[in-house]
């Protein structure tokens, strides 16, 4: 009996200890939650900003100027989603392995090969002063939240033993580039290229089906003709010859030992675990609604995760800012939502926004063919910090057409450079901020003219009773090249021929006869 009593006493003691540990942990972690009441002295504001949280913890931010409201938005985003901001920044910088170790090395190599951070910095240099000022205000708000933080950092920082980095406008712009990468379909294209390099040519057509003539389209017109059945096998023949080293103009292939470097982690799959996915949207005109006003709905099919990809908020300023909807922590403004004049929704356009060029290399792999000449690669040396081991060095090789992507993601033994709209000078930031204040369909159209990447189907409805559709994003001019397949360097010696003008892409600037529009992917 005494043994049972001792066992019971020991069990009771363990329960008490566990209870104390859980209680201490709970209140310690709770100390990282920043208060939603009271006042905070924030530097950089021209006048006070009032932030009101409703019963669902959705904030409305009100101030005298757009500058002050956007600064306060950065402050709120950092208060509520600080770890999310840190994660986005590290993805854009190619610094995930610094906290996650070996599993993230290839993802960092991919991001650094694409130079997402450098692209974002160049985008910042090209922005007009107004947009740049709002990005700087947002960064100030985030950094003021870091300066005024009370209590411990959120638990992710404590577990990993790190502190949050200061925020910058480049970090906000890098988020747009991360979304462009995630929403691009070139990962599937690479997989198809790798399969074509292994399959008999007669099976190639099955891997590049065209859209059927009878298929519906967003603007409800006739669909484009599908690919000819024999186009995949014909176009890929030169690339396969390059892989086999048969003396084609594409030059010799790499040695077998260099073609498929072993990879324990798929960098695209690793990054996709943090990313976005497809969506749908529709709008109906007044003839189809009970009150005679148009109606719009947008369901963005994103992975369920904690925290959510989105943060719902409303922004209002005395100088004309009045918008509400889904924002992205780390970026100013509202991505999808409505203002007093219109509402808009996005779905991924699934555009072919990338091409892979088969490069011809000399025997020691130090030079590539450019029309009649051999040129040395432009190279960058990247040093990637890795948790738990020495840093990893990575050499990025670039041609006049783009970086050599297959140094990171192999594709059937080919050496492929990447042409990608996501590396262009204009991202989404300027377009989104102008769209937030658009006063109708015409101003929405002008805002979207500056939307280069990521490619989106935009469906909208206006207070004036219009519904409409617009494809946003720059569409490459390829000439006769089939972008679904690898392309010889001779076909695109300097890259794409340019861009299709905005007024040449898909659009419905007023309601079709059916008085509805729909987009899904």
The full DSSP string for 416-432 is EEEEEGGGSS--SHHHH
Contacts of 447 (CB under 8 A, 6+ apart): 431, 434, 435, 438
Take residue 165 and report the two structure tokens written for it. Answer: 């980095």
pLDDT score of 505: 78
State the alpha helices, DSSP H only, in 273-346.
none
Nearest to 84 by CA among 329, 297, 421: 329
Q: Pairing mode, if any, of strands 295-300 and 279-284?
A: antiparallel
Question: How many angstroms separate the Cα of 306 from the Cα of each of 4, 27, 252, 492, 509?
Answer: 45, 21, 48, 43, 38
pLDDT score of 265: 55
pLDDT score of 243: 41
Angle (CA) 33 142 48, round 5°: 90
**24, burial (CB in 10 Å: exposed 0-12, middle 13-18, buried 19+):** exposed
Take residue 447 and report the two structure tokens written for it. Answer: 């805002």
pLDDT score of 25: 55
Per DSSP, the residues of 482-497 read -TTS-EETTTSBTB--
pLDDT score of 222: 44
**Are the CB atoms for 462 and 294 separated by under 8 Å?**
yes
Nearest to 150 by CA among 28, 26, 29, 35: 35
State the alpha helices, DSSP H only, in 376-453.
429-436, 441-448
pLDDT score of 48: 96
pLDDT score of 191: 79
- Averages of pLDDT over runs of 10 residues in the chain (521 residues) are 67 70 57 81 95 95 97 97 96 96 94 96 94 97 96 92 96 93 82 78 69 73 43 42 38 38 56 62 92 92 75 95 95 96 92 89 90 90 95 95 92 88 88 94 90 89 92 86 81 86 76 82 75
pLDDT score of 26: 56
Per DSSP, the residues of 168-211 read -HHHHHHHHHHHHHHH--HHHHHHHHHHHTTS-GGGGGGGSPPP
pLDDT score of 215: 74
Nearest to 434 by CA among 177, 138, 131: 131
Nearest to 427 by CA among 115, 183, 179, 112: 179
Contacts of 509 (CB under 8 A, 6+ apart): 441, 445, 468, 470
pLDDT score of 280: 87
State the alpha helices, DSSP H only, in 308-467.
429-436, 441-448
pTM: 0.86
pLDDT score of 220: 64
pLDDT score of 185: 79
Nearest to 330 by CA among 167, 94, 116: 167
**480, burial (CB in 10 Å: exposed 0-12, middle 13-18, buried 19+):** exposed
Per DSSP, the residues of 210-244 read PPPTT---TT-SPPPPPPPTTHHHHHHHHHHHHHH
Contacts of 481 (CB under 8 A, 6+ apart): 355, 487, 491, 492
SS3 of residue 380 by DSSP: strand
Nearest to 414 by CA among 239, 232, 170: 239
pLDDT score of 260: 47
pLDDT score of 250: 38
Take residue 521 and report the two structure tokens written for it. Answer: 């992917």
Nearest to 392 by CA among 108, 115, 162: 108
Backbone angles phi, psi at 389, to 5 degrees: -160, 175
Contacts of 353 (CB under 8 A, 6+ apart): 180, 184, 185, 186, 420, 421, 422, 453, 454, 455, 473, 476
CA distance 129 to 151: 36
Contacts of 331 (CB under 8 A, 6+ apart): 138, 172, 175, 176, 429, 432
């Amino acid at each position: 009996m005494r043994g049972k009593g001792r066992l019971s006493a020991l069990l009771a003691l363990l329960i008490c200890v566990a209870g104390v540990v859980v209680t201490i942990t709970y209140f310690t972690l709770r100390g990282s939650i920043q208060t939603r009441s009271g006042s905070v002295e924030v530097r950089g504001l021209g006048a006070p900003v009032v932030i009101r949280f409703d019963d669902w913890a959705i904030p409305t931010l009100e101030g005298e100027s757009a500058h002050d409201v956007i600064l306060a938005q950065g402050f709120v985003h950092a208060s509520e989603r600080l770890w999310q901001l840190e994660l986005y920044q590290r993805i854009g910088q190619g610094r995930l392995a610094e906290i996650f170790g070996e599993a993230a090395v290839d993802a960092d190599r991919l991001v650094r090969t694409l130079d997402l951070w450098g692209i974002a910095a160049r985008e910042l240099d090209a922005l007009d002063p107004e947009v740049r000022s709002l990005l700087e205000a947002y960064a100030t708000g985030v950094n003021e939240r870091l300066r005024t933080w009370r209590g411990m950092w959120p638990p992710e920082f404590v577990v990993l033993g790190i502190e949050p980095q200061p925020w910058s406008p480049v970090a906000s712009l890098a988020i747009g580039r991360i979304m462009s990468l995630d929403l691009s379909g070139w990962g599937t294209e690479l997989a198809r290229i790798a399969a074509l390099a292994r399959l008999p040519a007669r099976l190639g057509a099955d891997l590049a089906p065209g859209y059927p003539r009878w298929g519906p389209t967003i603007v409800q017109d006739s669909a484009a003709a599908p690919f000819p059945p024999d186009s995949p096998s014909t176009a890929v023949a030169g690339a396969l010859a390059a892989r086999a080293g048969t003396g084609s103009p594409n030059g010799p292939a790499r040695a077998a030992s260099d073609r498929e470097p072993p990879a324990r982690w798929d960098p695209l799959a690793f990054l996709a675990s943090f990313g976005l996915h497809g969506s749908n949207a529709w709008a109906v005109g007044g003839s189809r609604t009970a009150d005679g006003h148009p109606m719009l709905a947008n369901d963005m099919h994103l992975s369920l995760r904690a925290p959510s990809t989105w943060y719902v908020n409303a922004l209002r300023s005395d100088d004309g800012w009045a918008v509400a909807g889904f924002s992205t922590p780390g970026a100013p403004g509202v991505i999808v939502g409505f203002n007093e004049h219109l509402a808009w929704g996005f779905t991924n356009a699934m555009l072919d926004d990338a091409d892979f060029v088969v490069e011809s290399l000399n025997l020691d792999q130090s030079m590539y063919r450019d029309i009649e000449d051999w040129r040395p690669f432009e190279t960058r040396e990247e040093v990637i910090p890795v948790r738990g081991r020495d840093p990893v060095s990575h050499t990025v090789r670039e041609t006049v057409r783009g970086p050599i992507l297959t140094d990171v993601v192999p594709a059937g033994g080919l050496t492929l450079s990447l042409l990608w709209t996501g590396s262009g000078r204009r991202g989404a930031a300027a377009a989104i901020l102008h769209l937030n204040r658009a006063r109708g369909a015409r101003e929405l159209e002008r805002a979207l003219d500056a939307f280069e990447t990521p490619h989106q189907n935009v469906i909208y409805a206006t207070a004036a009773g219009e519904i409409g559709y617009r494809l946003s994003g720059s569409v490459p001019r390829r000439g006769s090249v089939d972008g679904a397949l690898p392309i010889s360097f001779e076909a695109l010696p300097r890259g794409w021929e340019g861009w299709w003008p905005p007024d040449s892409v898909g659009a419905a600037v007023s309601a079709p006869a059916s008085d509805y529009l729909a987009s899904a992917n």
